[in-house]
């Protein structure tokens, strides 16, 4: 089946064609007909499976049809997401698919001035894509009315729970009409998520995509056993050998991100960093530079592992293994998206071997080990450490070498006597 076969607005079809959408992915094929019928959906699908378009296409069509018979300026759909970056990304997808349909979309998130957002709400929008905290603030200020919502969508629901948004979501539900269509999307499922989902949906169509294959088949996985204090040298080697490739490096903490960036800077490698200490403006700017390919290496914490669509990432490097095995899936999901191939390389130290076992259990497969001889490792370390010697320090090094040679000669003379 092709998108041209669906009974949806012709403008939407033309937009999909221009965006290169021809055939629906599994999640789109299973979700779109049910959403068009008005059914609630509970979907478990990994990021990178095309789930944004799975709800964007039918929702835009349904709202377009409503607008033909009603002139109401009330908000018709609210989409809740865990992060600012994901809200912006989904908004971009909606705007492209809704081009020329007169369906208006607004992105709302915290960390920025709310006045322009309130002004846009007063002018009238059809779809609001938002993070829970800012939605809750605007509802309580009376700037955001949810009483006429027809569609509620929760995307990356498990991540929202991880970030502690469950109370905000539960409080927000009180402001929504009981009669509505609810779409619930999550990458993973557990008892807490299941309980939340079934408190929101009514007789849902349940969809689960590739439950036994949590990562894309387009990604090749490899692990190298490298101790903590040697990882920066091997990262330098990976970057140097793939200078034209876009490389996303994941570390465990924001302090590590900055330290690794400085280590790369010392050997002449330009990088960007992304973590929670960065302002919203800095995060947008960083993402844009990396997406545009102005800087080829981005060092990030797990804040960027979920839902962010960065085109053409060739390599994901797990500089530190993630503390949660499911985060490995979200990290490596940044590469091998769509039909593109990707590489995931992990550095595993002695203290991380237990985490590696958990990840392999989660994946249902062992990860290929990069076999490096001891001599090869020593050569990489030696060459890398040589580069760290400041260029202007060669005279002192030569003097020290000559001094050591002189001491050696004097010792030999004494032995002869």
pLDDT digits (tens, 9 = 90+) for 192-216: 888 889 989 999 999 988 655 566 6
Spell out the residues 6+ positions from residue 19 whose beta carbon is closer than 8 angstroms to its own.
Answer: 96, 97
pLDDT, position 389: 47
Confidence of residue 275 (pLDDT cuts 50, 70, 90): confident
Task: Return the minimum-mean-pLDDT range out of 21-30, 53-62, 321-330.
Answer: 321-330
pLDDT, position 392: 44
Structure tokens at 47: 């990021």
pLDDT, position 404: 56
Confidence of residue 364 (pLDDT cuts 50, 70, 90): confident
pTM, rounded to two decimals: 0.72
pLDDT, position 163: 77
Q: How far apart are CA 370 and CA 386, in angstroms?
A: 24
**Edge-to-edge strand list for the sheet holding 105-108:** 105-108, 127-130, 77-80, 151-154, 181-186, 41-44, 205-208
Cβ burial, residue 351 (10 Å; 0-12/13-18/19+): exposed
Whether the predicted pLDDT of 395 surpasses 80? no
Q: How far apart are CA 241 and CA 109, in angstroms?
A: 39
Whether the predicted pLDDT of 184 surpasses 50? yes
pLDDT digits (tens, 9 = 90+) for 335-359: 877 667 889 999 999 999 999 999 9
pLDDT digits (tens, 9 = 90+) for 80-93: 998 888 899 899 99
First-to-final CA distance of the chain: 94
Give me the domains of the chain, ranges plus CATH numbers.
3-208 (3.40.50.300), 219-371 (3.40.50.300)
pLDDT, position 385: 57
Spell out the residues 6+ positions from residue 202 whose beta carbon is closer than 8 angstroms to its own.
Answer: 40, 182
Length of the chain: 417
pLDDT digits (tens, 9 = 90+) for 276-304: 888 878 888 898 899 899 999 999 998 76
């Amino acid at each position: 089946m092709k998108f041209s076969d669906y009974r949806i607005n012709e403008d939407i079809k033309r937009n999909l064609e221009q965006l290169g959408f021809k055939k629906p992915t599994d999640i789109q094929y299973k979700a779109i007909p049910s959403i068009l019928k008005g059914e609630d959906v509970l979907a478990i699908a990994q990021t990178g499976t095309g789930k944004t378009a799975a709800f964007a296409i039918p929702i835009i069509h349904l709202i377009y049809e409503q607008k033909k018979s009603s002139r109401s300026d009330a908000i018709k759909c609210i989409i809740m997401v865990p992060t600012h970056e994901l809200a912006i990304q989904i908004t971009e997808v909606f705007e492209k698919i809704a081009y020329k349909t007169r369906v208006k979309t607004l992105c709302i998130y915290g960390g920025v001035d709310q006045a322009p957002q309130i002004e846009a709400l007063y002018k009238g929008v059809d779809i609001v894509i938002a993070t829970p905290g800012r939605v809750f603030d605007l509802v309580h200020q009376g700037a955001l009315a949810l009483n006429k919502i027809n569609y509620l969508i929760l995307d990356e629901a498990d991540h929202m729970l991880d970030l502690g948004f469950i109370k905000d979501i539960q409080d927000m539900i009180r402001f929504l009409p009981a009669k509505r269509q609810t779409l619930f999307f999550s990458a993973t499922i557990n008892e807490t998520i299941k309980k939340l989902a079934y408190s929101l949906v009514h007789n849902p169509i349940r969809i689960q995509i590739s439950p036994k294959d949590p990562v894309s088949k387009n990604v090749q996985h490899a692990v190298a056993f490298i101790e903590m204090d040697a990882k920066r040298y091997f990262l330098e080697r990976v970057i140097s050998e793939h200078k034209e490739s876009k490389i996303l490096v994941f570390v465990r903490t924001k302090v590590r991100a900055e330290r690794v960036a400085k280590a790369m800077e010392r050997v002449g490698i330009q990088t960007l960093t992304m973590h929670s200490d960065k302002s919203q403006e800095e995060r947008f700017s960083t993402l844009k530079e990396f997406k545009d390919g102005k800087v080829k290496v981005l060092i990030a914490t797990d804040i960027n592992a979920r839902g962010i669509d960065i085109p053409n990432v060739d390599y994901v490097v797990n500089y530190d293994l993630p503390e949660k095995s499911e985060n490995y899936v979200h990290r490596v999901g940044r590469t091998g998206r769509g039909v593109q191939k990707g590489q995931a390389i992990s550095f595993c130290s002695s203290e991380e071997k237990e985490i590696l076992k958990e990840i392999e259990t989660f994946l249902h497969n062992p990860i290929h080990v990069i076999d490096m001889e001891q001599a090869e490792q020593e050569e990489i370390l030696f060459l890398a450490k040589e580069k760290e010697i400041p260029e202007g320090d060669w005279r002192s090094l030569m003097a020290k070498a000559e001094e050591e040679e002189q001491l050696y000669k004097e010792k030999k003379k004494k032995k002869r006597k």
